[in-house]
Structure 1
Amino acid sequence: MSTEKLTEREANMYSPLTLAFLGDSVYDTLVREHLLRQANMPVAKLHSAKIKLVCAEFQSRAYDLLAEELSEHELAVLKRGRNATGNTVPKHADAAEYRRATAVECLFGYLYLTGQDRRIKELFAVMMTLEDNENG
């Protein structure tokens, strides 16, 4: 799955919600791979574990952790995602959580489009420390 990397300027032309649309998939794929590499388990168990990590509540909790690790430009992308309008809030999350989760997804989408795979993995690892702390 090779895509041509965009410049920061080109990536900034996309709306935050469009970046989040892509970032949701990027993050979901990382979570699936992370869980698969942890243990060979039945798909139903993998799915249950995935749901806990891709929900707005978990992503919202990771927001502050990520914000501490970001460059000024990355933080601007995160905040742009958080401030995006037009979000419909699912029943299982409040508006603030959902906006913060959208911000995380926006950042992942932006980093993916600009070809910053290594940075995505670094930030994903930071998010997974939250999972480790909650489970350990």
Structure 2
Amino acid sequence: MEKSIIDLMAGIKENWALPDVDVRTYSPLVLAYIGDAVYEVVIRSLLVGRGNAQANRLHKEASTLVNAGAQSASLERIKEELTEEEMQVFKRGRNANSATMAKHATMSDYRRATGFEALMGYLYLTGRTERILELAKKGLEED
């Protein structure tokens, strides 16, 4: 899976002639925007990879894993594994001023989830999909 994600971003850049941009200059909310989608693809791929199932059931299961509370819990499981650079990206995302908030989440869970998504986005845009998968796996492990 990681190769296909890398190929996808490379193909998008090539087909639309997008310039190389320093990802460190991106707003943490932009990183969270793409990171949310990347993490969703990881979770959906995991669920679909387990075998054929009803789409409604897959959606319900994905929803339990891709929400502010679950992402906040995942962050707590991986926090000690983060490099200094990754922790800085997470903190930028966590501290970003978002105009919205999740309906069914505490403010602290929502902010940690935004930081988690920013980290996923940063790793994706810097081509570190193997690290995304490593952290996602660790974050999904039961305590």
Instruction: Mark yes or no: TM-score above 0.5.
Output: yes
TM-score by length of 1: 0.88
Query: What CA distance in whole angstroms lies between the structure 2 residues aligned with 1:66 and 1:94?
Result: 20
Query: How many pairs align?
Result: 129
Partner of 1:2 in structure 2? 9
Aligned residues with identical type, % of pairs = 42
Structure 1: gaps of 5 or more residues: none
* 1:6–1:114 CA contact under 8 A, matched in 2: no
Distance in 1, matches of 2:48 and 2:138, equals 18
**CA distance in structure 1 between the partners assigned to 2:77 and 2:39 by the alignment:** 16
Distance 1:76 1:110 in 2: 11
TM-score by length of 2: 0.84
Q: Counterpart of 2:88? A: 76
**CA deviation after TM superposition for structure 1 residue 19, in Å:** 0.2
Amino acid corresponding to residue 137 of structure 2 in structure 1: A
8 Å Cα contact 2:101/2:107 also seen in 1: yes
How many angstroms does 1:6 deviate by? 5.9
1:34 lines up with 2:46 in the alignment: yes
Partner residue in 1 for 2:133: 121
Unpaired segments ≥5 residues, structure 2: 1-7, 14-18
Which residue does the alignment assign to 1:93? 105
Q: What is residue 25 of structure 1 aligned with on the other side?
A: 37
